[in-house]
Amino acid sequence: AQKITQTQPGMFVQEKEAVTLDCTYDTSDPSYGLFWYKQPSSGEMIFLIYQGSYDQQNATEGRYSLNFQKARKSANLVISASQLGDSAMYFCAMREANQAGTALIFGKGTTLSVSS
């Protein structure tokens, strides 16, 4: 069964610094997709970035990049130049290709706090 592990309950960073949020996953399917979502205190889940298992390059979206290490089964989110508005919960999620119809499976999340 697929599984997502986020081992950092909370992370603290100062404005303008970079931060890495860890995510490891477990799957036996060679085809899968990895996602990161942000959930601010308002509660809405906001999609940040996607990485496919066959993508040769690490995904990037503005200040977000995904450090994808397939052999280690890790998909860490890197946020560069942190901003106060980045303070939120961050969730890593995965969907396997052979279960394309099913929903994303989420990790427990990491709370990021950005200070000035």
Partner 1 sequence: DTGVSQDPRHKITKRGQNVTFRCDPISEHNRLYWYRQTLGQGPEFLTYFQNEAQLEKSRLLSDRFSAERPKGSFSTLEIQRTEQGDSAMYLCASSLGAGFTGELFFGEGSRLTVL
Residues that bind partner 1 (CB under 8 A): 4, 31-33, 35, 37, 42-47, 50, 52, 91, 93, 95-97, 99-109
Hunting for tokens 């994303």 — which residue is that? 104
Nearest residue to 84 (alpha-carbon basis) of 2, 5, 9, 15: 15
- Nearest-approach distance from CB 105 to partner 1, in angstroms: 7
To the nearest whole angstrom, how small is the minimum distance from the Cβ of residue 50 to partner 1? 6
CA distance 104 to 72: 21
- Please identify, using beta-carbon distances, which residue of 6 and 82 lies nearer to partner 1: 6
List CB contacts of 80: < 8 A, sequence separation 6 or more.
Answer: 18, 63, 65
CB nearer partner 1, residue 42 or residue 116: 42
Nearer CB in complex with partner 1: 18/100:
100
